[in-house]
Structure 1
């Protein structure tokens, strides 16, 4: 790592810590059974809990600006999934959706959270849905944002590339990063060139890690045949300019889960919660309000 890249990494780390503190999010490490996970947590300890799960090659940071709109009246927990970010990578750990879901359940247990509203983006959506299936007692509701884990009626740009033998997630050179980064979001938040260069260098350095994680994630069955088993309120959220997971995939989730609602964003890409944090959080809060109301009615 050269001096410029090292400086960019320090700037990014410092800015991330400062932003987390500004939003009332504190950092910790939590026992997840076979490993420990880095976790951001904020909000009142006795408030309704919300667990936010990031996607493949991402980290807990992608949810922070969304989370700032929830911490006033929700207990927010953002784990960094095994193999990613500060949680660290250890070869052979096992990174499939069921393995990650089991770790999320263990983190909830460790934090004294019986059940929670669970949201996931991309791979995190696959993990969230798997948690609802494998540990249904843990999940009050689901938010599935641009989620993998089911068949896509139409191939995305990334899927077409993968079928042709070129996986856009695997980079050999930092010069390839800008093209990949452009695929991840239609409206990326501003980041100085120094910081983007540091992110690119870290991404290239982790290629071997990402190859193993990718194999584990896609070496398990999709959930198409099990969607009918999910019986919690579900919101399917999608960016209509998603180039990684085709927007048609939203229909698969929504059609398979009884009563699921869908909201889409014409101007957003693969991570609407990061691209449009205030708007997506407002939609999610409205969904949670409906979930709460329906729960009270059901209990009566």
Structure 2
């Protein structure tokens, strides 16, 4: 508790000082960046930069990935993958339930978070999967359980198909990656009308977009939400470039029979980005798939229903070792 107090007090003092100086925006960014790192550290997650050795013929990309890492020698590893436009900070509240029994690895994928963006990098799912493989090599992790949300779910399946020897299990959470959904989501309707809700030009656009990401979002003060909105506005050209490379290409539909790892699928019943009817498509292609629909939940069950989703994942992993 003393450690927590020592860390929190400077945050509060900085907030008050910044507000008195009229630096609302700057304080919001500072709070978001430091509070998320603080929370992760309290859960035993260390931020570090890991060099990933490029292989001959590797797609253009970063020489290193910034990750949260919880070492746990002799324990199996879990790799948690964020979605498009998000970063590693969506996972720590979920990850804290696994630090006793697992090594936990949470990367910022190329184009996201502290790993950064460059216009010449390859953001396709095969390229991102290759980077996860190289990250595992760098950390001396021969195989891992993989769980990913949205684009990260798409990446989880892609990785499991391309690197079966490195995949202990694959859990896809409201994943992208299929050609068609039996029913269109709100986002798909917007895309068909020529508007991508991720491409934000002003705060009003963010205020429309953010409720689409979660039905039950964790509380964030407006000063932090404003910082996140400004980040989306600033990153819009980057997000456009990444979207063009991963969305609507490298579909999984023709590859499902190659996914041989034990697999589980989650979906929030109220997902406005990727319609829950997509679960039917996955089930048709992978009959042995374990499926859980989170009723009354949106696109990010691991953030909206953290304790319940962690318990379900614990049970799934425990069942694999029985």
Provide TM-score, normalisation by structure 2.
Answer: 0.89
Q: Distance in 1 between matches of 2:248 and 2:293?
A: 29
Q: Distance in 2 between matches of 1:198 and 1:114?
A: 38
Give the aligned partner of residue 127 of structure 1. Answer: 155
Q: Deviation at 1:255?
A: 2.4
Give the aligned partner of residue 45 of structure 1. Answer: 73
The answer to whether the 8 A contact 1:43-1:72 is kept is no
Give the aligned partner of residue 288 of structure 1. Answer: 317
Q: Which of 260, 267, 284 is the aligned partner of 1:255?
A: 284
The answer to whether the 8 A contact 1:237-1:264 is kept is yes
1:160–1:219 CA distance, 2 compared to 1 (3 A): closer
The answer to whether the 8 A contact 2:177-2:252 is kept is yes
**SS of the residue aligned with 1:224?**
coil
The answer to whether the 8 A contact 2:161-2:260 is kept is no
Does 1:23 find its partner at 2:43?
yes
Does 1:185 find its partner at 2:185?
no
Q: Distance in 2 between matches of 1:144 and 1:255?
A: 15
**Larger relative contact order (C-alpha < 8 A, sep ≥ 6)?**
1
Q: Deviation at 1:271?
A: 0.3
Q: Distance in 1 between matches of 2:236 and 2:152?
A: 19
Unaligned runs of 5+ in 1: 294-300
> Deviation above 4 Å: which 4+ runs of structure 1?
none
Q: Distance in 2 between matches of 1:258 and 1:107?
A: 31
Q: Distance in 1 between matches of 2:119 and 2:311?
A: 39
Q: Distance in 2 between matches of 1:43 and 1:266?
A: 34
**SS of the residue aligned with 1:206?**
helix
Once the two structures are superposed, residues 207-229 of structure 1 have per-residue CA deviations (whole angstroms, 9 ceiling, x without a partner) of 00000000000252311011011
Q: Which of 254, 276, 281 is the aligned partner of 2:305?
A: 276
Provide TM-score, normalisation by structure 1.
Answer: 0.95
Tell me the matched-pair count: 292
Q: Deviation at 1:257?
A: 2.1
The answer to whether the 8 A contact 2:206-2:229 is kept is yes
Once the two structures are superposed, residues 103-128 of structure 1 have per-residue CA deviations (whole angstroms, 9 ceiling, x without a partner) of 01110110001110000100001111
Once the two structures are superposed, residues 165-201 of structure 1 have per-residue CA deviations (whole angstroms, 9 ceiling, x without a partner) of 0111101112211110000000000111100000000
Give the aligned partner of residue 34 of structure 2. Answer: 14
Q: Deviation at 1:258?
A: 4.1
Unaligned runs of 5+ in 2: 1-21, 55-60
Structure of larger gyration radius: 2
